[in-house]
Structure formats: C-alpha cells, structure tokens
Amino acid sequence: MLLSIVFLLIGFVLLVKGADFFVAGSSATARRLRIPPVVIGLTIVAMGTSLPEASVSVTAGLAGSNEIALSNVIGSNLFNLLVVAGASALIHPFLADRDIVRRDLPVNTVVTAVLLALTLNGMLSRFDGLLLLAGIIIYLFVVVRAALADRKTLPLDDGDDRAPLPIYLCAILIAGGLAMIVLGGDLVVDAACEIARFVGLSETVIGLTIVAIGTSLPELVTSIVAARKGESELALGNVVGSNLFNLLFIMGMSATLSPLAVLRENMFDLGLLLVLTAGVWLLCRLRPKLDRKAGMAGIAIYVLYTIYILVR
C-alpha cells in the first residue's frame, strides 16, 4: 500500500513536470516559427495542460480499466469547472471573455450533451471515438481560423526579449516531456488500481477523485499563478479549452483504441457535468463578472459532490 502511494505521487510529479516541459518546448518552437501567441495558447498550451489526463485515460483504456479512463475525464472536467475556475475567482474576481461566453461555453455544453447521448447504450464504440476526434479537429480549425483572422491586430512575438531556445533544446524538451507523461500515466493508473483494490474503493471513485485531481494539477497551478498576477480571466479560457480537449480528444482517442464500457454511475456523473457546464454558461451570460461568491459556491459544490461519491 505504502509503495503504491509513493508510485502514485511519483507518477503525478512526472505528469505535471512532463506537461510543463512539453508546453515549454512546443511554445518555444512556435515562437521560432513566428506563430501568433494567441494561437499557441488556444492549441499547444491548452492541449499540453491536458496531456496528463490523456496519458492516464488512454493507458487505462488499453489496460482494460475502463472505469478509470472515463471517470478520470469526468472528474477532471468537474474539478476544472468548479475548483480551478472557482479558486481563480476567489483569488481575483474577473470578467468572462466575450468570445468564450458566446462560442466556447455553448460548444462545451453541446459536446457534453453529445457525449452523454453516446453513452446511453452503455458503450463508447470505436465509431463514437472517431466522431469525437472529428469534433476536436473541427473545433480547432474554427478557433485557429478565427485567431488568424485577427492576426493583423496581434504582435508576432510575445514580448519576451530573451534569446529563443535552440531547436535541439526544444526537441529535447518535447521528447523528454512526452516520455515523462507516458511513464507518469503508467505509474498513476497502476498505483491507483492497487490502492482501490486495497481499500475496497471502486476504480470509478479513484478516477473521479485522486486521479482526476492529480491530472488536473497543471490547470490548477496555471490558473492560480494567473490569478495572483491579476490575470484571472485566463482561467476560464484554460478551463473551457481543457474540458473540450478532454471530452473530444481524450475520450475519442481512448474509445478509438479500445471501446469503453460505461457504467450507470458514469452516466449520472456525466449528466451532472452537463448541468453544471450549462449552469456556468448561463451564469456568465447573466453576470459576466465571476466574483468571490461564485468561486466559493463552485468549490462548495465540488466538496459536496466528493462527499456524495465517497458514500454512494
């Protein structure tokens, strides 16, 4: 048991640092290629902070741990929506970006509803996975095209006066980061399964709590740092982008590689995610400013949900 906990912590460290190295290397490469910073943020950074979830869910799916594969994504999205955005609003209230409220939150809500509909037959098939992967390709195309349309108003550099990293160092960061993510994903899945069996908890509970929180650490750290710098509005974009990537790419890739069985508990949790995502969208439309009360409410809901899944 103690050894499994040690491996779990080592896995989380590898996931977080691996994602950090991957984002750093990819962003440096993009800057050398003179890609606008906004495009980097909408693609590389959003995907990079979700790589831990991707590694864990795909690894779990291939290993036959379907409960962890699906519950990790649902748990991570709930944590992002309630705790990451909530903590950011608690630290520094912010106005929700107009484009996020008008485009990305509605898309997030629709995608969650589509995934819930696909799970009603108790299975996510390879066809379902391919459908979700097509969704992330379309979404990224739309977002990047919109960003490039505004390219004339954007600087081609990020204001960083430091010398750009050499290409070989960028390659080392990208390759090393990916290797750490893969190894960390293996350790987290194996250790989480061992802990679940030892304490008598289901893989669903472990995936919704320990694994989901651990793989969401990059989003949490990024958002807290942004909030402390007075840039809390970046938190909502980080949350929405990561959640969409989780739902479309991670679930799509997991189901395409190995069809996933869906439990009734997964459907309930996915339904709750749909209600809360739609609720945040409605809240942002009615009250664009997310204040400390909203942040506290989000964290409180997550605490109550955690208590519920532990006793259900």
Most confident of 21-25, 83-87, 133-137, 213-217: 133-137
pLDDT (tens digit per residue) in 167-196: 889 889 888 887 887 788 778 877 877 887
Report CA-CA distances (Å) from 243 to 46, 47, 88, 227, 253: 9, 10, 16, 19, 15
Span 39-63, mean pLDDT? 72
For residue 186, the Cα-to-chain-centroid distance in whole angstroms is 18
Choice among 146-150, 247-251, 256-260, 272-276 with the minimum mean pLDDT: 146-150
Domain 2-311, CATH 3.20.20.70 — does that match? no
> How do the domains of the chain map onto residue ranges?
2-311
Q: Cβ neighbours of residue 126 under 8 Å, at least 6 residues apart? A: 255, 256, 259
pLDDT (tens digit per residue) in 64-92: 776 777 888 999 999 999 998 998 888 88
Report CA-CA distances (Å) from 226 to 184, 193, 230, 232: 26, 34, 6, 6
Whole-angstrom Cα Rg for the chain: 19
3-state secondary structure of 226: helix
How far apart CA 180 and CA 120 sit, in angstroms, is 35
E strands, 10-164, in order: 94-95, 123-124
- CB count in 10 Å sphere of residue 268: 14
Which tops the pLDDT comparison, 54 or 280?
280
3-state secondary structure of 22: helix
Taking the alpha carbons at both ends of the chain, their separation in whole angstroms is 24
Predicted TM-score of the model (pTM): 0.79
How far apart CA 292 and CA 229 sit, in angstroms, is 16
Return the pLDDT at 163.
64
Phi then psi for residue 150, to 5 deg, are -95, 15
At which residue do the structure tokens 């944590």 appear? 79
